[in-house]
Each structure stands twice: as structure tokens, then as C-alpha cells.
Structure 1
Amino acid sequence: MVFRRKLIPLGDDSQIQGPARVDSRTKRLTKRLSRGDVAIIDHEDLDRVSAEALVECQPVVVLNAAKSTSGRYPNLGPGILLEAGLPLVDNLGSSVMDIKENAKVRVTDGGEVYVGEKLIAEGDVLTAESNALAMEHARAGMATQLKAFATNTMEYVEKEQDLILDGVGVPDVKTSFVRKHALVVVRGYRYKEDLQALRPYIREYRPVMIGVDGGADAILEAGYHLDMIVGDMDSVSDKALRCGAEIVVHAYRDGRAPGKKRMEDLGIDHVVFPATGTSEDIAMLLADDKGAELIVAVGTHSTLIEFLDKGRAGMASTFLTRLEIGSKLVDAKGVSRLYRSRISNWQIAALVIAGVIAMVAALSVTDAGQILFKLGSVWWSDFARWVTRLF
């Protein structure tokens, strides 16, 4: 589809400028992106998690070499940037990725990108109107995506039926799951809010804490003990890897394990889990196979749009994983609702006051209590006379 060129809503200013931060992988870029920077990405179908990470970093503008919405499905990322008031210049082309890190970039209200006086690229400025039109076209293509999703599901069943149905290929681990709950944290949708809401549940049940890649850092940042890290190790920090948690490296079925070399370079013990699905899937399958009574998911995917928004053909594995462990799996939002306190602060205060009154009444009818009250009266009188003398 074709966008009409729009102006960036900049008020009285005619341009945006700042130092460039450039990376083809948005997840990697947000680790070094700061307030006031110009974020330059190459991210077709910008997803919700990446958009929320960009908003949190507070750059002055996002420049996308690719189309933020290709039309395959109604992806959620562009709308999140709009709601946050973060300008997005779309479909700039590959030349914008050649901008050097830290170069001073200017972006005009018409979507022109300059370094110094040199025009580097021209793109389409996202607006509420253009995004709504793109979403309308994308929704029309959902039938095609649904068919592709179903086809991918059948292919995954053929490849991984032994793993899903019988647990064949699940590695031995030291962490014990028997008769315990497992909390699987993915750095996904509303993961911070969900972790905060789960504090009463975590305090009572002390589940096995599993971080999926960057989810490991989320667990540590929330102040919890980390038991296991699962993933290809592309977004987890060295600090988390060295915290003492057991490491399970997700490998492809052909034997390739991108995270294995990193573990070897760091000298960290690990086990390898070859599987076709996503890292969050194998974390859940591992917990289920090792005897977890309940699996609570934080930041994972639950709807078709969320599956597609992940941007991977293999997301059908997530759908099948949930069918297999459905009797044990609970979304974090459901758990937090069950454990939400129904007692308000004023009710607690009233209870404390009532308790104090009852204690005073009980003391007043005993000899020891009467002596205590008389001593208190004498002390108060002495204190009052001392204060009077001061003035």
C-alpha cells in the first residue's frame, strides 16, 4: 500500500535532531538507546514488545528502514508508538542503516533524514490516519495468515510429536520441579506489571523461577532468586548468567546452538535442549516433563495476533505447547486476580485501632494494668510540667 507523506507533529519546531543509535535488531538496540537519541532500526512489522521497549528508552524519533506494517497482519507496534507520542518515520530504505553510530541526525517534519547537510533518505511519517488505514488493509489479510499458521502447526506436529507427547529429548537438569510450581518469565507483554502483581503468590508458593533469555534479568531486577535460564542467550546479561542459575541452551534440531559458544567463552556449565519451537515453549515443556504441578506464565503469548506479532513462523509451536500442558498452565494475570487483596487500607487501620482499644480495656481491669496506667499518668504530668517551664 502507498502512504501519503505527512508532517511530524512537532509544534513550533521544524525538525528533530539527536545522536544516531543504529542496529538492525531492535531488541539489541534498546540496550544502549537513551533519552534524546535517534533510534534507527530495520524492523518489518514492528511488534508490541519492541515498540514498548523503544517507548521506555524515550528516543526523540524512530527511523525504520523497513515497513513498520507490511500488511500481513495487524501488528501492534506502530500504534503503541503513536499513543506514546513518539514520532516514527517509516520505509526509509537500506541507506538509513549506513548512518554511523553517534552521527548527528536531523529529521525534518516531512520525513527527510539528514546527516550534516547531506540528505540520506526520505520516508513516510506515521500518523493516526495512515496507521488506521494500514491496520484495515492488514486485517483483510488475516485469512491468509491463519492458513499459514495452520500449515505451520501441522509441520511442527510432524517434527516434534515425540517431544510434545512423550517428552523425548528433554535433557536431565539439576533443578527439582517435583510437586512445585514453576514461574516462566518472558520479557514480553506487561511482564513488569505481572511480576509486581504476583508478589503475594510468589511469597506464598515460592515457585521455581525460570527466566527465558531477558526474562532472567527481569526476575533479578524484581528482587527474586533465579533458578534457571532457558534460551539462545542472545538477550540475557552476563550478570544473570553468572548468578548461579542452571543454564539450558536452546538449540536447533540440526544441532546449531548459538548460545553454546557464549557459555563456553564465559566458562559456565550448561545443558543443551534441541527443539524446533521457541525458547518459552521448551521452558514450559521442561517444567511439565520434570513434574511441576502448575506452570505460571509471565509475558508469554496467548492470542493469534500475539503469535503473529512475535514475527516467527515457528510460533505454532507455542499453540501446541499450550494444548499439551493446558491443564497445568495459568496466565500470570489470572493468578494475580486470585491473589489480589480485597482489604482496603482504612479497614486495616480500623482493625488496628480496635485491637489497641481492646488491649487497653483488658489492661484496665487488672491490678498490673491499673499500676501501669498510674505510672503513665505520673510520667505524663511530669512531662507536661517540664514543657510548661520551657515557656
Structure 2
Amino acid sequence: MRFPHVRRGKAEEPPGIVGVARVDLRTKVLVRRLEPGDIAVIDHADLDRVSADELIACRVAAVVNAAKSVTGRYPNLGPRLLLEAGIPLIDDVGAEVLSRIADGATVRLDKDVLYNARDQVLAKGVLMTEETLDAAMEDANAGVPTQIDSFAANTLEFLRRERDMLTHGIDVPRLTTRMLDKHVLVVVRGYRYREDLRALRPYIREYRPVLLAVDAGADALLEAGYRPHVIIGDMDSVSDEALQVGAELVVHAYPDGRAPGMGRLRGLGLDGVSLPAPGTSEDVALLVADACGASLIAVVGTHWTLEEFLDKGRPGMASTFLTHLRVGSKLVNARGVHQLYQSRISGWALAALMIAAAVTIGVAIAYSPTGPILGNWISATWHTFAYWFTGLFK
């Protein structure tokens, strides 16, 4: 849709970016609906790098954030990734924009102002630039010590409250998927999961591990060409398609037994089991694999570093740190595989080597005293095979 402006008797297209607005409070839900060229309207304070990666992969034309993309709490990497990808980021436009814009409406973004189809101003924010981002990051770096203190306090509190679970593990429901003495690959749709899954193809092909997905990790596996065996989570970010591939479904419930995700499964006509447990769904997946007797637990996309724990932006990430300590003897992080090792022999080099070998063998046969005899034998063998093969279709 065009936004015509009349100037000197001519209809001219106004400046800026015109696109379809996609609106959602939750970025991880929104990315499932985005199409290339859309304008993503989000409400995401401290935009993390996982969400930014997803927005970039969707090839959005621009991002309009109702909240501050950098609050100063810690130096989050999401805004930097968007700027490096050349995606305009309009920051802190206010929560009212979410009610002013209908999902699917055509809008125009000109610098830091968002217009509707009638050229009325919908929102105005701050256009994020390298200079404004550098200033925000400088302030955010000063807040890191406070966040570390808070993280340490949350970790100790969780350790006191859930020491029995961390000591003895959790009681898992009965699953038909066998994990005893097998490798289990736990997949979270986190940072650089695509690269890690590509790097793990030889491992998956050779060891055939149990594929345990955490929520939208099931979609990550489908995207890579695999089918999950088990899906664990609160079922809020995984697609209907992934839920219906035949995997065993375990709904991570609140410690008091409430499991909102069960309602979604029933609505799809699917069966699942409820597993009440504290912590995150990522923690529960690791503890289930450990309790089911996995000999090795490889992880893709999980939270591993302090920066990632802070990036998640909630006190519950302390449980992930402690869960890693519990299953640490079995835990292998697959994140760096594609950086640690890449094959030095390309496909073209192998093809050239095979051609050179075939030419060498052909020359050896042609100039060898036994060449005519060997040539006749190859010819007879070929004709015998051709006669047998064509006979299959008669």
C-alpha cells in the first residue's frame, strides 16, 4: 500500500519504510508470524541477542520497541546485532503503541516516527544509532556489579529452598522413550542454535541420540530436518506443527501443580503428562535426562555464561546455574563445535580427487599389457549388469 503525497500536482511516495505491522507482547511468539519486510512492533526491555537473532533471521524491515531496548541494567547485545544487520530500531515509543496499531495494518516508519495509512502519527521514539547505543552501553556496564550481586543472592536462595531436588534429582513421569545409557541431545532455541545443529550432523548420524526439545527447540529440530522424541516445556512458544509430530509431551508445571500448557494440548487433541518442578523448562529437561539414566547430555542453545543468565532477565536463571552443577559430569556444550573444527577438505576437492583417480586408473589400463583383457572383462561385466537391470522392467 502506498502513502501518496501531493506535491506540485504529482503524487509522490513519502519517505521512510512502508510495511505490514506485526504486533505482539512476546517477541518469541511474534517471530513465528513475521514475514520478510514486516515491521516488528514489540515490547521488550533489554532486547537480548537470541530475540535479535530471530528478528534478523525473519528479515524484518524495522523494529519498533515500546520499551527501552537498553535499560542500563546490564550490557545486552540485541540492539547491537540489529544495527550491525542494518535493521532500524526505534526505541522507547511507549506501551500505548501496542493498542494503537492493529496487527496486519500497513504502516510507514520515517526516521523515529511511525505513521498509519492516513499519515497520522501513531508513535514517536528514539532512533537507535551507534552513538546513542554506545552511550547506553557505557551506563549499562556500570550496572553489572549490582546484577552479579543479585544473581549470587538468588542462587543461594534457590540452593537453600530446593536443595533436596538438586541433591536427589526429580521424580520423572513414565516415558516410553528410552534414555538409559544413551546420549541425549537437549535442544533449546537459543543463541546460535542453527550453527551448532549443523555442526552436530555427523554426531547425530553416528550416535543417534535421543532428541529432547525444550519448547520451541522442537521447531529448531524440525527446521534442521529432525523429529524430536520428547518435548518438555510450558508449551507457550512451540508451534502446533511441532507438537503434532508424535513426540512424547511433558508439560512443565508450577510446583503447586498448575499446568496452563495442558489446556493447549487438550485443545489440539493431544495427550501429555504434567511434571511439577521449580526452575526453568531448560533445567527440567536436563534433570529428566539425568534421572532417566542418560550416559551423556549434549546441549544446544542453552544458557551457559553469566552474560546469558543476565540476558534472560529473571531471578529463576539461578536454578540453571545450579542444575548445570548437578549434571555437570554428563554435560557437554555443543556451542563451540562449529568454531573449534571445520573440515579442511571441500566437496569440490573430493570430486577433483575422484576424477584424478579415475583418469589414473584409465591410463594404467590403456598402457598395461593386460589392459585389453581387463577392458574386455569390464565391458562384459557392464553388459551383464545392464541386461539384468533392464530385465527388471520387462
Normalising to structure 1: TM-score of the pair? 0.86
Q: 1:316 aligns with which of 293, 315, 318?
A: 318
The alpha-carbon distance between structure 1 residues 59 and 374, as it changes in their structure 2 partners (threshold 3 A), is closer
Which residue is 2:119 aligned to? 117
SS in 2 for 1:243: coil
Q: Distance in 2 between matches of 1:260 and 1:16?
A: 41
For the 8 Å contact 1:40–1:62, the answer to whether it is kept is yes
1:35 is displaced (CA, Å) by: 2.1
1:333 is displaced (CA, Å) by: 3.1
- The residue type paired with residue 108 of structure 1 is D
The one-character-per-residue Cα deviations of 1:340-382 (angstroms, maximum 9, x if unpaired) are: 5454443564366447745875896488416448989xxxxxx
The alpha-carbon distance between structure 1 residues 224 and 107, as it changes in their structure 2 partners (threshold 3 A), is closer
1:314 is displaced (CA, Å) by: 0.5
The alpha-carbon distance between structure 1 residues 117 and 336, as it changes in their structure 2 partners (threshold 3 A), is closer
The alpha-carbon distance between structure 1 residues 360 and 284, as it changes in their structure 2 partners (threshold 3 A), is farther
Note if 1:60 corresponds to 2:61.
Answer: yes
Which residue is 1:4 aligned to? none
Q: After superposition, where does 1:1-391 map in structure 2 within 5 Å?
A: 14-98=15-99, 99-109=101-111, 111-115=112-116, 116-336=118-338, 340-345=342-347, 346=349, 349-350=352-353, 353-354=356-357, 357=360, 361=364, 365=370, 368-369=373-374, 371-372=376-377
Q: Distance in 2 between matches of 1:372 and 1:30?
A: 62
Q: Distance in 1 between matches of 2:185 and 2:371?
A: 52
The answer to which of 47-56 and 78-87 deviates more is 47-56
- The residue type paired with residue 369 of structure 1 is L
Q: Distance in 2 between matches of 1:61 and 1:336?
A: 30
Q: Distance in 1 between matches of 2:131 and 2:56?
A: 20
- The residue type paired with residue 242 of structure 1 is Q
Cα RMSD after superposing both structures? 2.5
Which residue is 1:388 aligned to? none
The alpha-carbon distance between structure 1 residues 18 and 220, as it changes in their structure 2 partners (threshold 3 A), is closer
1:339 is displaced (CA, Å) by: 7.1
The alpha-carbon distance between structure 1 residues 114 and 340, as it changes in their structure 2 partners (threshold 3 A), is closer
- The residue type paired with residue 39 of structure 2 is V
1:214 is displaced (CA, Å) by: 0.9
For the 8 Å contact 1:200–1:339, the answer to whether it is kept is no
Q: Distance in 2 between matches of 1:265 and 1:181?
A: 33
SS in 2 for 1:157: helix
1:287 is displaced (CA, Å) by: 0.5
SS in 1 for 2:41: strand
Q: Distance in 2 between matches of 1:147 and 1:51?
A: 27
Q: Distance in 2 between matches of 1:41 and 1:158?
A: 37
Q: Distance in 1 between matches of 2:269 and 2:275?
A: 18
Gaps of 5+ in 2: 1-12, 382-394
Q: Distance in 2 between matches of 1:18 and 1:338?
A: 40
Which residue is 2:6 aligned to? none
The alpha-carbon distance between structure 1 residues 360 and 207, as it changes in their structure 2 partners (threshold 3 A), is farther
Q: Distance in 2 between matches of 1:375 and 1:206?
A: 42
The alpha-carbon distance between structure 1 residues 60 and 343, as it changes in their structure 2 partners (threshold 3 A), is closer
For the 8 Å contact 1:201–1:335, the answer to whether it is kept is no
1:178 is displaced (CA, Å) by: 1.1
- The residue type paired with residue 311 of structure 2 is D
1:160 is displaced (CA, Å) by: 2.3
> Quick one: percent identity of the two aligned structures?
55
Q: Distance in 1 between matches of 2:380 and 2:249?
A: 64
- The residue type paired with residue 65 of structure 1 is A
1:222 is displaced (CA, Å) by: 1.6
Q: Distance in 2 between matches of 1:36 and 1:83?
A: 17
For the 8 Å contact 1:163–1:170, the answer to whether it is kept is no
The one-character-per-residue Cα deviations of 1:152-190 (angstroms, maximum 9, x if unpaired) are: 111211232222221133333221111110011111111
- The residue type paired with residue 81 of structure 2 is I
The answer to which of 78-87 and 312-321 deviates more is 312-321
- The residue type paired with residue 350 of structure 1 is L
Q: How many residues align?
A: 364
Q: Distance in 1 between matches of 2:357 and 2:335?
A: 35
Normalising to structure 2: TM-score of the pair? 0.85
Which residue is 2:385 aligned to? none
SS in 1 for 2:80: helix
Q: Distance in 1 between matches of 2:30 and 2:369?
A: 68
- The residue type paired with residue 61 of structure 1 is A
SS in 2 for 1:32: coil
SS in 2 for 1:333: coil
